């Protein structure tokens, strides 16, 4: 089990604390410190639509120009859109919980409970 996010995000902290309280073994990958690959994002897209991956409520989203927002507003993940997400991973809805056969975006306790 892997959980992706940034260490100072409150939602990521809640998800990590939930998993710790349930005594789940997981690896935490910090987008900012550890980086992120296009291949990882492509793997996630096998489990979720591109529109679910993009965090349009983030500060990073508000800082984008119109063409970048249009690129990320598409239903299709183009190479340029993936490159932008990897370059600015805070544009990804977090946390991302990845297990062998599931990927969840955001933290909803009920969904996490079903996985563990």
| Cα 113 to the center of its chain, rounded Å | 18
Structure confidence at residue 100 as a pLDDT band (50, 70, 90): confident
77 upstream amide cis, omega within 30 of 0: no
CATH label of the domain that carries residue 16: 3.40.30.10
Mean of pLDDT over the chain: 93
Please say if the pLDDT value at position 115 is more than 90.
Answer: no
pLDDT digits (tens, 9 = 90+) for 1-27: 999 999 999 999 999 999 999 999 999
What is the tally of structural domains in the chain?
1
Annotated active-site residue 9? The verdict is yes
Q: Is 11 left (phi over 0), alpha (psi -120 to 50) or beta?
A: alpha
Structure confidence at residue 116 as a pLDDT band (50, 70, 90): confident
Please say if the pLDDT value at position 54 is more than 90.
Answer: yes
Q: Look at residue 34 and give its three-state secondary structure.
A: helix
CA distance 56 to 116: 28
Which residue among 9, 53, 54, 97 is the active-site one? Answer: 9
The residue segments making up the domain with residue 64 are 2-115
Please say if the pLDDT value at position 95 is more than 90.
Answer: yes
């Amino acid at each position: 089990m892997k959980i992706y996010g940034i260490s100072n995000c409150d939602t990521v902290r809640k998800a990590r604390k939930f998993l710790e309280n349930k005594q789940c073994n997981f690896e935490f990958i910090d987008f900012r410190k550890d980086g992120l690959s296009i291949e990882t994002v492509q793997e996630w897209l096998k489990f979720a639509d591109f529109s679910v991956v993009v965090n349009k409520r983030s500060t990073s989203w508000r800082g984008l120009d119109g063409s970048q927002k249009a690129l990320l507003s598409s239903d299709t993940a183009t190479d340029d859109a993936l490159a932008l997400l990897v370059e600015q991973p805070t544009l990804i809805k977090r946390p991302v919980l990845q297990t062998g056969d599931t990927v969840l975006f955001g933290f909803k306790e009920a969904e996490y409970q079903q996985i563990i």
